[in-house]
Structure 1
Amino acid sequence: MRLFVALDLPVDIRETLALMRGSMPGVQWVPAQNHHITLRFIGEITDRHRLEEIDLALSRLAWKPFDLSLAQADIREGLNADSLLIGVERTPQLETLQSQVESVLRRAGCPPAKRRFQPAVTLGHFSSSQRADAIQWVQRHNLFRSKPMSVEHVTLFESLRSLGEHVYIPRAEYAWQPEMPLIPEEE
């Protein structure tokens, strides 16, 4: 089971992002139902006991709801393909939540994250030979800003490959818990 922890996007924000589909030829667009903000990629988990530890760890997250907005277009260069992105406004609350996710997953036995946290929504993938077109796409969409969304839960997703596409299936949601004290970052 290939897992990651993310913020699922509200339907109206997904629909707004879906309007950008087709705005650059040659892009393999991510289906709107797959739009999310990854907090932590976990990877392949085959041990049921480890899965239970991850579930228990994520159930212990505690934070106060906060608002978050998507803002600005960007490009991320990759090994096999580059990606079109919409960035996420970085806030102290988002950084704290992501740090908390990282900490509880490490305590559950997951190795440290391999990448630095760079919150964004991936809209599509394109060939590196199209970078000039992608730069123009970023310039056309750089003033994009979504309405604020409330962050009240995180979701554990499973990533499946079906007919050449990834399908992300929510496996569990972990809601903020006002009765729980905030977990200190370092124990």
Structure 2
Amino acid sequence: MRLFVALALPADIRETLALMRGSMPGVQWVPAENHHIGLRFIGEITERHRLEEIDLALSRLTWKPFELSLAQADIREGLNADSLLITVERTPQLDALQAQIERILRRAGCAPARRRFQPAVTLGHFSAGQRGDAIQWVQSHNLFRSKPMFVDHVTLFESLRSLGQHVYVPRAEYAWQPEIPLTPEEE
């Protein structure tokens, strides 16, 4: 099972982003239900005990809820294709949450993240030959700004391949304040 940790987007923000689909020909648009803000790619997990260790580690996350907004269009160059993105406004709270996820996953035996954290929502993929069109797309969407979204949980997703496309299935949510009764020594 191929796993990653992300912030699921509220339906209204996904709908707003979906309106940008089709605004550049030749793009392989990401389905709106797959829009998310990636916090940490975990990778392929084949052993049940590893999944349980990851679940336990993520259940120990602690943070206070915060708001964040999506703002500005951008391009990310890739090895096989480039991507159209909407970036996320960086906040100290978002960076702290991502750093905490990185630490606890390393302690749970996951390899360090391969990429530096650059929060964004991927809207679509295009070929390098379309960069001129992509630059125009970015310029026409560069003033985009979403309403603030409330971050009170993170989601562990599984990435499945179906009919040549990825489908992201939520496997677990980890709330900022889980409703777990305190043990006597913690009271």
Give the structure-1-normalised TM-score: 0.95
Q: Secondary structure at the match of 1:16?
A: helix
Q: What is residue 148 of structure 2 aligned with on the other side? A: 148
Deviations 1:51-78 (A, max 9, x none): 0000000000000000000000000000
Find the residue that maps to 2:121 and give its secondary structure: strand
Structure-2 change in CA distance of 1:105 and 1:128 (3 Å): same
User: What residue in structure 1 maps to residue 82 of structure 2?
Assistant: 82
Deviation at 1:179, TM superposition (A): 8.6
Does the 8 A contact of 1:63 with 1:178 survive in 2?
A: no
Amino acid at match of 1:117: F
The letter of the residue matching 1:110 is C
**Cα distance in structure 2, aligned partners of 1:34 and 1:26:** 19
Aligned pairs for 1:27-38 (under 5 A) are 27-38=27-38
Matches within 5 A, 1:1-187: 1-177=1-177
How far apart, CA to CA, are the structure 2 residues paired with 1:73 and 1:90?
A: 14
Q: Note the C-alpha offset of 1:177.
A: 1.5
TM-score by length of 2: 0.95
Q: Would the alpha carbon gap of residues 56 and 140 (structure 1) be closer, same or farther in structure 2, given more than 3 Å must change?
A: same
Rounded to whole Å, the distance in 1 between the matches of 2:147 and 2:100 is 25
| C-alpha displacement of 1:88 | 0.1
Residues 8-67 of structure 1 show CA distances to partners (whole Å, capped at 9, x for unaligned) of: 000000000000000000000000000000000000000100100000000000000000
Q: Distance in 1 between matches of 2:34 and 2:179?
A: 32
Q: What is the total number of aligned residue pairs between the two structures? A: 180
Q: Give the conservation status (yes or no) of the 8 Å contact 1:73–1:138.
A: yes
For the residue of structure 2 that corresponds to 1:6, the secondary structure is strand
In 1, Cα distance between equivalents of 2:178 and 2:62: 8
AA aligned to 1:53 is E
Which runs of 5 or more residues in structure 2 are unaligned?
181-187
Equivalent residue, structure 2, for 1:184: none
Structure 1 segments of 4+ aligned residues over 3 angstroms from their partners: none
| Aligned counterparts of 1:22 and 1:74: Cα–Cα separation in 2 | 16
* Aligned-residue RMSD, C-alpha: 1.1
Offset at residue 162 of structure 1 (A): 0.3
